[in-house]
Amino acid sequence: MHLDSSLPTGKVGLCRGPMMAASDNFEITIAGKGGHAARPHDCLDPVTAAAQIIMGLQTIVSRKVDPVHPAVVTVGKIRAGSKHNIIPQEAILIGTARTIDPYSTKMMPLWIRQLAEGIARANGLKARVGYERGYPVLFNDPDMVDFCEKAIASRYGKKAPVRITQPMMGGEDMAYFLQKVPGAFLRLGSRQGRETAFPWHHPKFSIDEKSLSLGAGILTEIALNFLSQ
């Protein structure tokens, strides 16, 4: 179970099949030749190449991934330079790749490496790509989702469970458990007014604390229903 501010308190999101994406991390180091910002012709600027790579990464999603499958490539951290008048020796891009279908998950490291190395080479630089596998796709067992939905509805009413038809692109380590045992991952509504409407990782993220006791009750109800079978 995970808190979800996109749902109001009292609602529980359920999704059959793939619910969350495979979540991988990458780091791209672009090696150039530093120097004075006023003499770029004497340098090999890794910042310019880094900017091109950041934009180019978005073509992976739009041109490599089958349009019917969701995917995300995001650069969340850029590290380069120390002064306004210095072209740095290197630039580092750190980001994440999120995929649902197995083929895109398999190919993503190659696609990122080809793009980064190609753009760097076109600028006379070198790029080194590190790629780390993270969590696999989180797959909810359809029968367990139906079971949880009935248990929640029996205790909290038919309007409490909400069916989610599309997977979200976050990653979750619960995926490992669901590879071994059939189960379901739930999204617990935690929004109550404007102060609790901010999404995950937002600096103002907050929750309606009433949702915590509700979540405990829901898990208890599901467990009791399961044990009474």
DSSP state string for 99-148: E-SHHHHHHHHHHHHHHHHHHHHHTT-EEEEEEEEEE--EEE-HHHHHHH
Which listed residue (103, 176, 195, 209) is catalytic?
A: 209
CA-wise closest residue to 186 among 132, 130, 226, 148: 148
Q: Output the six-digit token pair for 51.
A: 């900017």
Which listed residue (90, 135, 149, 172) is catalytic?
A: 135
User: Catalytic residue at 172?
Assistant: no
d(Cα 45, Cα 119) in Å, to the nearest integer? 12
CA-wise closest residue to 20 among 131, 121, 105: 105
Q: Which residue is listed with tokens 């829901």?
A: 218
d(Cα 5, Cα 27) in Å, to the nearest integer? 30
Q: Which residue is listed with tokens 């969350």?
A: 20
d(Cα 167, Cα 18) in Å, to the nearest integer? 6
Q: Which residue is listed with tokens 């590290």?
A: 79
User: Catalytic residue at 117?
Assistant: no
In the chain, where do the E strands start and end? 2-8, 12-14, 17-20, 22-31, 35-36, 71-80, 86-87, 90-99, 126-135, 138-140, 161-163, 187-191
Residues carrying an active site annotation? 135, 209
